């Protein structure tokens, strides 16, 4: 029972029921109050009935017809009610001895008729529990009827008017009760139908979230509307997709790291075991090979740590006005020996009046070195690697172009992912582990910039760095 009360559907229906009943109660009170005031205004504003204007002939004719039809006064109460209501009068039908035969309004059925010493009739209400009507003296002759009976016609006393008011209000209240109950039941039924349509997507989201919690990362919910619930479903699907992708990248990262570590560790182990068992001599060549494997492991760990810090937004950035042309010349000077040993021309083409870029010189130099190293690794001897810049409104563009083999279109959107290699054998042979371009992307984005690549197979590639020239804050910087 307690669990059912915690259900959103049950609470919604209970809340609606409370609102409906309160609304109906307020409407009933308001309607009763308005009806009472309107009835009182009608009673007070209508002209008082005049006994002199009573159609005596019509009353006598109606009563004589009743007497002739029924042979007596049996059932005359209904006729008096009809005649008295039509003319708003107090009607008393007395026999020849002065006994009360019938009266309208019927609430005065227990009127006591007393004849005074002077021959006048006095009326007194003796109904138990009723507010007694003041004694009313009847003056004037009645309407003579056959058999010695007489009909006395009097104005309605205030007590009768009050009774009419109470009866009218009671009838209004009695009519409001079934109408209110019916309206409440209809409202609850309609809300029950709509609550199912409203809450069904929420229930689907709840089930999907529980499946996601248990590890079912492929769960999705149908987006069937464009309202807030539809936006929630869309956000859930996006979250589930991001978590699935994150889990896939995590698993891929673990696999890639294990794979990258396995080769140098295996080489180190085999080399050391060969030295230990005396299968090979500790020559400078052998020691150099083992040192190269250890350096490869060190670079891999350093790159992984660097990439993790960059992705977590923990890079320490020292942003200062930077002469990009001077930075490019320093980086090219450092890479020139490697380019010369491979027979590759290393060139730069920088405009004379480059605006100062607000950047971290160390991090931006690392970006250029990674891009140049990548270009040199994929450019054959006799090729060319060129760095040039251009200035657009509010933007500085740096391009690193090579005349290498190029990148196939299916690889272009993946080259900035960690451990991704277009040519795994060549990259490993040159010492790369597939983290350089991933680090480039993180460092460029930390400066508020963007990196992109264009390539044609057999002609070469061009990596473009796009930096804003405003003084806005760096993104993802500590």
Residue 2 binned pLDDT confidence (cut-offs 50, 70, 90): very low
Q: How confident is the model at residue 305 (pLDDT cuts 50, 70, 90)?
A: confident
Cα–Cα distance between 298 and 305 in angstroms, integer? 11
pLDDT band at 397 (very low <50, low <70, confident <90, very high): very high
Query: What is the spatial distance between Cα 160 and Cα 108, in angstroms, rounded to a whole number?
Result: 9
Instruction: Please say whether the beta carbons of 98 and 115 come within 8 A.
Output: yes
Whether residue 347 is found in the same domain as residue 405: yes
Could you give the C-alpha distances from 141 to 40, 121, 138, 292, in angstroms and in order? 32, 11, 9, 140
Given 131, 155, 179, the domain boundary residue is 155
On average, the pLDDT of the chain sits at 76
Predicted confidence (pLDDT) at residue 381 exceeds the cutoff of 80: yes
- My answer on whether 373 and 388 are in the same domain is yes
Whether residue 418 is found in the same domain as residue 337: yes
pLDDT-derived band at 73, boundaries 50, 70, 90? confident
Please state which of the ranges 103-117, 154-168, 385-399 shows the lowest mean pLDDT: 154-168
The yes-or-no verdict on residue 149 having pLDDT over 80 is yes
The pair of three-digit structure tokens given for residue 168, joined into one six-digit string = 């009218």
Q: Return the structure tokens found at 204.
A: 């689907």
Does the residue 254 lie in any domain?
yes
Average pLDDT over residues 80-96: 75
Write the DSSP assignment of 46-76 as a string of letters. SPPP-GGG--HHHHHHHHHHHHHHHSSSTTH
Please give the share of the chain, as a percent, with pLDDT higher than 90: 13
Among 155, 176, 202, give the residue marking a domain's end. Answer: 155
Residue 130 confidence (pLDDT): 46
Mean of pLDDT values over 117-125: 66
Over residues 380-388, the mean pLDDT reads 93
- The whole-number pLDDT of residue 40 equals 60
pLDDT of residue 98: 74
The mean-pLDDT minimum among 77-81, 232-236, 431-435 falls in 431-435
Given a cut of 60, is residue 95 above it in pLDDT?
yes
Q: Is residue 326 part of a domain?
A: yes
pLDDT tens digit string along 308-365? Answer: 776 666 667 788 898 999 999 999 998 898 899 999 999 998 888 888 898 988 889 8
* Cβ neighbours for 220, distance < 8 A, ≥ 6 positions apart: 208, 237, 240
- Token readout for 360 is 């971290």
Asked whether residue 261 falls in the same domain as residue 379, the answer is: no
DSSP track, 155-211: EPPHHHHHHHHHHHHHHHHHHHHHHHHHHHHHHHHHHHHHHHHHHHHHHHHHHHHHH
What is the end-to-end Cα distance of the chain in Å, rounded? Answer: 52
- Range 390-397 average pLDDT: 91
Does residue 409 belong to any structural domain of this protein?
Answer: yes
CATH of the domain at 283: 1.10.287.130
Residue 284 has pLDDT above 50, yes or no: yes
Whether residue 388 sits in one domain with residue 445: yes
More confident site: 221 or 118: 221
Q: Please tell me whether residues 304 and 324 are part of one structural domain.
A: no
Asked if residues 118 and 129 have their Cβ atoms less than 8 Å apart, the reply is no
For the segment 224-247, the average pLDDT, to the nearest whole number, is 83
Write the pLDDT tens digit of every residue in 244-268: 887 877 777 677 677 667 777 888 8
Per the model's pLDDT, the better-predicted residue between 143 and 169 turns out to be 143
Distances in Å between the alpha carbon of 111 and those of 103, 159, 270?
9, 13, 128
pLDDT > 90? residue 25: no
Number of domains in the chain: 3
Non-local (6+) Cβ contacts of 235 within 8 A are: none
26 or 46: which carries more pLDDT confidence?
Answer: 26
State the pLDDT confidence band at 449, using cuts at 50, 70 and 90. very high
pLDDT reported for residue 137: 63
**Band of pLDDT at residue 428, cut at 50, 70 and 90:** very low
Residue 346: phi and psi, rounded to 5, are: -115, 115
- pLDDT of 63: 84
pLDDT at 219: 86
Q: What is the pLDDT of residue 371?
A: 92
For residue 204, tell me if it sits in a domain: no
In SS3 terms, 354-397 reads as: CCCEEECHHHHHHHHHHHHHHHHHCCCCCCEEEEEEEEECCEEE
* Residues 464 and 334 reside in one and the same domain: yes
* 390 in Cβ contact with 353 (< 8 Å): no
Residue 188 covered by a domain: no
The answer to whether residue 145 scores a pLDDT higher than 70 is yes
Among 52-61, 215-224, 311-320, top mean pLDDT goes to 215-224
Examine the fold and report which residue of 155, 183, 216 is the final residue of a domain before the chain moves on. 155
Domain containing residue 392: 317-468
Do 385 and 429 share a domain, yes or no? Answer: yes
162 lies in some domain: no
CATH number at residue 370: 3.30.565.10
pLDDT of residue 468 exceeding 60, the answer is: yes
Same domain, 233 and 322: no
Name the more confident of 340 and 89. Answer: 340
Average pLDDT over residues 386-401: 92
User: What would the mean pLDDT of 205-230 be, rounded to a whole number?
Assistant: 82
């Amino acid at each position: 029972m307690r669990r059912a009360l915690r259900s959103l559907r049950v609470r919604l229906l209970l809340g609606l029921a409370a609102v409906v009943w309160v609304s109906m109660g307020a409407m009933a009170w308001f309607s009763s109050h308005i009806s009472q005031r309107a009835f009182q205004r009608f009673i007070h504003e209508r002209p008082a009935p005049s006994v002199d204007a009573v159609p005596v002939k019509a009353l006598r004719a109606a009563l004589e017809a009743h007497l002739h039809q029924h042979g007596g006064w049996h059932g005359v109460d209904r006729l008096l009610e009809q005649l008295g209501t039509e003319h708003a009068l107090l009607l008393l039908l007395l026999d020849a001895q002065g006994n009360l035969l019938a009266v309208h309004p019927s609430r005065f059925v227990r009127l006591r008729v007393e004849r005074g010493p002077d021959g006048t009739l006095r009326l007194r209400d003796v109904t138990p529990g009723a507010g007694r009507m003041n004694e009313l003296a009847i003056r004037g002759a009645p309407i003579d009827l056959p058999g010695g009976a007489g009909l006395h016609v009097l104005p309605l006393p205030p007590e009768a008017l009050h009774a009419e008011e109470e009866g009218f209000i009671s009838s209004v209240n009695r009519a409001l009760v079934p109408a209110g109950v019916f309206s409440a039941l209809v409202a609850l039924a309609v809300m029950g139908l709509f609550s199912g349509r409203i809450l069904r997507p929420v229930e689907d989201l709840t089930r999907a979230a529980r499946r996601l919690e248990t590890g079912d990362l492929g769960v999705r919910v149908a987006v069937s509307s464009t309202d807030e619930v539809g936006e929630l479903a869309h956000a859930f699907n996006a979250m589930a997709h991001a978590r699935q992708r994150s889990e896939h990248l995590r698993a891929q990262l673990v696999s890639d790291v294990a794979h990258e570590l396995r080769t140098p560790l295996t080489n180190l182990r085999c080399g050391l075991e060969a030295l230990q068992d005396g299968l090979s001599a500790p020559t400078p060549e052998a020691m150099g090979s083992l040192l190269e494997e250890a350096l490869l492991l060190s670079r891999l760990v350093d790159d992984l740590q660097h990439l993790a810090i960059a992705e977590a937004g923990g890079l320490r950035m020292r942003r200062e006005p930077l002469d990009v042309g001077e930075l490019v010349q320093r980086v090219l000077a450092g890479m020139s020996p490697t380019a010369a040993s491979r027979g590759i021309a290393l060139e730069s083409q920088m405009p004379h009046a480059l605006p100062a870029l607000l950047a971290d010189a160390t991090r931006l130099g690392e970006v250029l070195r990674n891009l140049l190293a990548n270009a040199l690794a994929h450019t054959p001897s006799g090729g060319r690697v060129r760095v040039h810049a251009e200035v657009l409104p509010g933007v500085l563009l740096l391009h690193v172009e090579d005349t290498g083999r190029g990148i196939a279109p299916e690889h272009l959107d993946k080259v900035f992912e960690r451990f991704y290699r277009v040519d795994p054998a060549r990259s490993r042979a040159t010492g790369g582990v597939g983290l350089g371009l991933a680090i480039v992307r993180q460092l460029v984005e930390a400066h508020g910039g963007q990196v992109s690549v264009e390539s044609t197979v057999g002609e070469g590639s061009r990596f473009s760095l796009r930096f804003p020239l405003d003084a806005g804050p760096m993104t993802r910087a500590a």
